[in-house]
Structure 1
Amino acid sequence: MLAVIIAVGPVTVAASMFPATTRKALAAPDNSTTILTVLHRICRVYAGLGVLVPIFGALTALTLGVLTDTWLIISIGLTAAAGGVLAMMILPSQRTVLGDLTATTPLTLRRLATDTGVFNLLWVAVTVLMIVRPGSTTGA
């Protein structure tokens, strides 16, 4: 569980910081573009590490004998959805912003912030399911 938190935590924080930092960069372009580049890099690197999350999850589920439990199947689906939002919506939007900061519109920022919020909510749901494990009989 700790490995999952270490892999997912930084990307959720960096992705969440990106829209607000973009607004600051548009208002006063000082070192904010450097910060945006770092935040995007964190998102990319931890997205790669996030691929390991389902592997650790599957191995843990196999060890616990819960591979077919409903809560786990739902968690896998939510994890896939979160990965899809990150890979197909957040990272491309961040690249677009970094490609031409001055062309960034308020609509682009709102959409990026919304996508990031959805991404974070999906991870919250997965985390809750991993802790509560509704219907689990493993006693933990």
Structure 2
Amino acid sequence: MATQIVRTFLVYAEEDYRFRDLLVNQAKSLRLPVEFTDMPNKQPWVPKWKTTCRTRAFECDGAIVFISKKTRQGEGVKFELECVGETQMPVLGVYVEKGEKPALPDELRDSRVIEWNWPEIASFLQSLGKGSTGKAAV
């Protein structure tokens, strides 16, 4: 039986790209069956960017949102979170700076949020491959 590839949408402020890189490299080093997608160049004022963002989100099984002091300030992040909310996919919020817990975006108020902890992140990713995510249809 082939291993199911889990598609995960990553949401982060542009300034926090290094956490995206850290997560992707950690997953690769452990050979987790996961494929990440994100919108690195935040351009929420461009209609094509919005369309691409929404399409990418709907193609995913779950989302990880990196939370920092910059998260609530970004219009791109705000739109990405709207798209994630529309999909009804499982979401994990991750505080990226040890000991810092900035205010959460409203869109994460009902989501599980943790401090950066690789075992819990890996467990979330693995849980996405265990069946239906209950996502809404595009």
Shorter-chain TM-score: what band?
A: 0.3 to 0.5
Q: TM-score, normalised by structure 1?
A: 0.32
Higher-Rg member (1/2): 1
**Structure richer in helix, relative to its length:** 1
Structure with bigger RCO (C-alpha 8 Å, 6+ apart) = 1
